[in-house]
Amino acid sequence: MIIWITGASTGIGRELARQYAEQGHSVYATARNETNLSSLADQTRDYEGSVTALVGDVGDPERMRAVFDAVCDRSGVPDLVILNAGTHKPTSATSFVLEDHQKLMDINYTGVLNGLNAALPLLLSRGSGQIAVVASVAGYRGLPRAGAYGASKAALINLCESMQPELKAEGVDLRLVCPGFVKTPLTDLNEFPMPFLMPVEDAVRAMIKGLRSSKFQIVFPWRMGVTMQLLRQMPNRLFLAIARKISG
């Protein structure tokens, strides 16, 4: 299987590339950090499969097209595209910083659009292939100090729900991945309790298993998914009272 993964230099993306290469697949790993991508390629050098580093910024639509074209030129149209690149920064409503919101939306949401823009035409013309978009359970409900991050992930959830039926009719299998807290260099920066924190190796195994199933939405860890779904169904009056208490 030919796989293209964005955001592959650290965290979930890096572990996805490693596990897929270990299983014998041809993986093309994209991120801005060339050093981390090189170390990933070195780490997987003796695996049954392979990891090829293709440096690129998901915020640059032209570069994403060039990277995707490079994958196609080397191995053919990918069987699986994983649009995983994303970042997080706590945000405050009372200390509002426009640039923080714009940056997270540019990377987390527009970065996915740039990946779709690069990959969809050929997948649609072939009439097959799978795309996985990595959102977050944080997109289910507005969590305190996560306005920018949650909004970008909520946008991805809505986008995928909207696009899936059309793409399915054309043979392209769009999946939505919503992780909870996964132990990565990004979550290591968090200074608050993270319920049901999951090792990245286990999270990636759950994601790979989900992509092999028929599920549209893949959520892990399951307890965090259930918790957020309950909050999603909770009446606004009760949810906002709880959110105010958490906010202090």
Active site members: 149
To which residue do tokens 């992930």 refer? 153
Residue 23 identity = Q
**DSSP assigned state of 48:** S
Q: At what angle do helices 34-43 and 11-22 cross, to 10 degrees?
A: 30
In angstroms, the CA 115 to CA 113 distance is 5
CA angle centred on 196, ends 195 and 199, rounded to 5°: 125
**DSSP assigned state of 7:** S
C-alpha pair distances (Å), 140 with each of 10, 128, 152, 224: 25, 29, 11, 11
In angstroms, the CA 20 to CA 78 distance is 13
Contact at 8 Å (CB) between 11 and 184?
yes
Judged on CB neighbours under 10 Å (0-12, 13-18, 19+), 101 is middle
To which residue do tokens 């994958």 refer? 71
